[in-house]
């Protein structure tokens, strides 16, 4: 069933991935974080492409770890994946101004978004095993953990 807005799908997504309930404020935080992570990955990809004498970023230029690859495959199997892909296609996010994605890289972005989303959602349960409703502090700690690694 397709919902009229993106909010319910992300609420369902977090519930199905980790049994966490999120609200509209959480969705805003989540989108800001994932967008920032993708920007960071894009900048690292730009640097790798430049190092190899190219201006266009190809998928191998992106610093995608084995763990993130596995989360991307898990996202592909999620019930909400197609609906999320449609929402992302409607609201295509552009990379930072000095970054140019190749076609294959642009096609990979929804999977990267999904993989980061699963990793973020699961990080809550690793940090706070009994968490049901994340607070600002929970989000900030999860974000700090990701920034430490990425």
CATH code, domain with 82 = 1.10.20.10
Residue 93 confidence (pLDDT): 65
- State the DSSP string of the chain: ---SSHHHHHHHHHHHHHS----HHHHHHHHHHHHHHHHHHHHHHHHHHHHTT-SEEPGGGS---HHHHHHHHHHHHSTTHHHHHHHHHHTPPPPPTT-EE-HHHHHHHHHHHHHHHHHHHHHHHHH-TT-SS--HHHHHHHHHHHHHH-
Q: What percent of the chain has pLDDT over 90?
A: 75
Task: Write the CA distances from 126 to 6, 23, 41, 119, integer angstroms.
Answer: 26, 20, 23, 10
Least confident of 35-39, 60-64, 65-69, 93-97: 93-97
CA distance 21 to 14: 7
Residue 119 placed within a domain: yes
Residues ≥6 apart with Cβ < 8 Å to 112? 38, 41, 62, 64, 68, 72
CA distance 19 to 21: 7
Q: Which of 62, 56, 61 is nearest to 102 (CA)?
A: 56
Residue 107 placed within a domain: yes
Residue 1 placed within a domain: no
pLDDT (mean) for 113-140: 94
Residue 59 placed within a domain: yes
Residues spanned by the domain of 82: 6-149
pTM of whole model > 0.85? Answer: yes
CA distance 48 to 108: 17
How many domains, the chain? Answer: 1
Residue 91 placed within a domain: yes
CA distance 77 to 28: 24
Give the residue, 3 or 56, on which the prediction is more confident: 56
Residue 74 placed within a domain: yes
pLDDT in tens, 12-44: 999 999 999 999 899 999 988 988 999 999 999
């Amino acid at each position: 069933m397709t919902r009229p807005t993106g909010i319910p799908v992300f609420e369902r997504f977090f519930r199905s991935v980790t049994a966490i309930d999120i609200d509209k404020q959480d969705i805003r935080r989540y989108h800001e974080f994932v967008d920032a992570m993708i920007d960071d990955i894009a900048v690292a990809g730009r640097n790798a492409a430049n190092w190899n004498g190219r201006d266009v970023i190809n998928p191998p230029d992106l610093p995608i770890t084995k763990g993130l690859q596995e989360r991307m495959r898990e996202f592909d199997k999620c019930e909400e994946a197609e609906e999320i892909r449609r929402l992302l296609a409607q609201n295509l996010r552009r990379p930072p101004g000095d970054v140019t994605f190749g076609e294959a890289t642009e096609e990979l972005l929804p999977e990267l978004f999904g993989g980061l989303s699963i990793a973020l959602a699961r990080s809550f349960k690793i940090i706070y095993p009994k968490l049901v409703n994340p607070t600002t502090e929970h989000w900030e700690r999860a974000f700090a953990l990701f920034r430490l690694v990425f």
